[in-house]
Each structure stands twice: as C-alpha cells, then as structure tokens.
C-alpha cells in the first residue's frame, strides 16, 4: 500500500484496477474494488490497519466489471454515477462470463464462478460531496471513458482519482467510450488540476506528460476512425489500426496479446456504435 498523503492510500498490486482508500475519523472511503473475491478479502484485511472510524463506503468510478465485479465482497454501501446504476439494471442479477474476449483483466481471474452483482445504493448525476470531516471527498461526472465515468476529488490533499481517463502503459477500453467527450475531460484535467496528484485507475500516479500523451493517443485514434468513416470503410477495416496503436504503447511483453485483443474488440465496438449504428448499446460486457 502506497501513502499519497496523510489519510490517503492506493494499492496497485491486485489484478484489475488501482484501488484507493481515504481513512477518516468517521470511517473509510474506498475507491473501486478488485474483481477477485479472494483479492477483495485480502484488501479488506489490509484496510483494517488504517486508523479510521467504523463506517464504510465504496465508490465505483464507472460501470466496468474490472472495478465493479468485486464490489459485493467489500460488504459496504456503494456509491456511483446514475449511469452506472442504470447499467446494473440492464445486467442479469448474477454475473456470467461472456463469450467475447475483450482484453479486460477480470477475464484472467480464475474461479470466479457465479457472483451476484452489487448495484450502487446511492447514485448522483453531476456532483456529490461526502463530508465526513473537514476533509471532503467530491465525486464528479466526467464523461468519455465509459459508462458512468466519474472522478473522486480530494481538494484538501490535492489528489484526484480519475478512473480510466488516463491509463499507464496500456490501451484504453473503447467499446463504451465517447472519444470527443473523453478528450474534453482530459483537457479539463490538464487545465484545472495541474497542481494535483492524479491517480489513474490503471497504473497509479501519472505525470502531466503521461496525461498529455494519453490525449494525443486518443486524438490519433479518433482521427483514424473519422477517416475510415468518411471513406465508408467496412467494419473489418479497423483491424489495420491495432498494430500501430500497439506500437505507440510501452506495454509489457507478457501483456501484448491481451492488449491487442482489447484494442481489436474496442475498435470494432466503437466503430459499429458510432459510425455504422449496428452496435448493441445495451451490452455491458467489457
């Protein structure tokens, strides 16, 4: 567990997403959960060492299974954006592994079996403040990366958790993304939060240079997809984008196949949804 500031911690050792914890006198605010129930139990045990009150909250920064699949194992009240809550209303009650291989981290977790989803019990639309002390935690909607994409902002500590807005050394999830809004959200982050510590939901603390590189990477993908659309290219044409998109990343060798799969799946879904109008927008299998 890494300490970012007094009372603020992150953990990046579990498969899935970067986890956060804010230990306050009233209780513990957790940012996301590992997809594996076993890792969830381990994370809960680690959190017992933090000096906080007895109350527990879990914030899910979007609807992606990598951060929501293990929410029930955290055994506490869950908060998320209303779009995330809506996504759960369109999911079966019990998690079922999809046949599609999307390049998500949960797909490599062994022995998941049948898991009941844990929908958010509290939701918000634009902004919500958790004021358990003089250390407020602000939840804000920042659309683009996925369904219900949100940030957790700690003004007193100068820290912002941005979920999948910026990813370190790995490709984005595109299937449920909206690239123009994603780019706008990154621009807002660079303009308003230059002096903040920015925590990626996949990779931990990221620098301003990494944030700018993410913007340029997404801009290039958007430009290429727009070009394909103007030429009325068929869906299979997006496959040609996978290799150059992978070459632009500093991804570890053992993740190359998974990440190429993530890009191929995401590019096809994005192009179908936004340019061919054939995507199934009710699917939340990424």
pLDDT at 96: 66
pLDDT reading at 36 higher than 90? no
Give residues with Cβ within 8 angstroms of 220, minimum separation 6: 248
pLDDT at 103: 87
pLDDT at 279: 44
Beta bridge partners of 78: 58
Query: Strand locations in 34-158, DSSP E?
Result: 55-59, 77-81, 94-95, 115-116, 122-124, 127-130, 137-141, 150-154
Distances (CA, A) of 61 to 37, 70, 125, 165, 221: 19, 13, 13, 10, 24
Q: Beta strand 77-81 with 94-95: parallel, antiparallel or unpaired? A: unpaired
Local confidence band at 92 (pLDDT 50, 70, 90 cut-offs): confident
Spacing of C-alpha 33 from chain mean position: 11
Please count the helices (runs of H) and the strands (runs of E) in the chain: 7, 15
Mean pLDDT of all residues in 67-91: 91
Query: How many Cβ atoms are within 10 Å of 168's Cβ, its own excluded?
Result: 20
Mean pLDDT of all residues in 49-78: 91
Rounded CA-CA distance 37/275 in Å is 38
Residue with tokens 């299937």: 175
Q: Which residues of 38-70 are buried (b: 16+ CB within 10 A; e: fewer)?
A: ebbeebbeebeeeebeeebbbbbbbbbbbbbbb
pLDDT at 281: 41
Positive or negative CA dihedral for 190, 193, 198, 202?
negative
Average pLDDT value for the chain: 90
pLDDT reading at 61 higher than 80? yes
pLDDT at 37: 84
pLDDT reading at 77 higher than 70? yes
Beta bridge partners of 58: 30, 78
- Domain boundaries along the sequence of the chain: 2-276
Rounded CA-CA distance 186/184 in Å is 5
Task: Give the model confidence (pLDDT) of 169-221 as tens digits.
Answer: 999 999 999 999 999 999 999 999 999 999 999 999 999 999 999 999 999 99
Task: Give the model confidence (pLDDT) of 265-279 as tens digits.
Answer: 999 999 999 998 754
Q: For domain 2-276, give the fold.
A: Metallo-beta-lactamase; Chain A (3.60.15)
């Amino acid at each position: 567990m890494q300490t970012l500031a007094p009372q603020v911690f992150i953990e990046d050792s579990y498969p899935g997403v970067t986890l956060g914890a804010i230990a306050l006198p009233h209780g513990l605010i957790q940012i996301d959960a590992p997809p594996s129930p076993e890792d969830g139990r381990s994370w809960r045990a680690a959190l017992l060492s933090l000096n906080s009150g007895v109350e527990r909250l879990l914030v899910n920064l979007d609807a992606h299974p990598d951060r929501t699949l293990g929410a029930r194992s955290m055994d506490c009240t869950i908060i998320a954006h209303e779009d995330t809550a809506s996504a759960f209303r369109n999911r079966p009650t019990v998690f079922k592994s999809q046949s599609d291989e999307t390049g998500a981290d949960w797909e490599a977790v062994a022995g998941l079996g049948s898991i009941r989803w844990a929908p958010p019990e509290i939701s918000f639309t634009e902004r919500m403040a958790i004021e358990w002390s003089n250390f407020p935690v602000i939840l804000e909607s920042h659309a683009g990366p996925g369904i219900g994409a949100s940030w957790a902002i700690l003004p007193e500590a100068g820290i912002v958790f941005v979920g999948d807005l910026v990813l370190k050394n790995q490709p984005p999830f595109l299937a449920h993304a909206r690239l123009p809004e994603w780019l706008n959200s990154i621009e807002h982050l660079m303009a308003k939060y230059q002096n903040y510590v920015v925590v990626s939901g996949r990779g931990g603390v990221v620098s301003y240079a990494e944030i700018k590189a993410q913007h340029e990477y997404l801009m290039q993908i958007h430009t290429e997809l727009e070009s394909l659309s103007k030429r009325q290219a068929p869906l299979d044409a997006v496959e040609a984008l996978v290799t150059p998109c992978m070459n632009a990343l500093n991804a570890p060798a053992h993740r190359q196949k998974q990440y190429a799969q993530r890009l191929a799946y995401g590019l096809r879904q994005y192009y179908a949804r936004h340019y061919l109008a054939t995507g199934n927008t009710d699917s939340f299998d990424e």
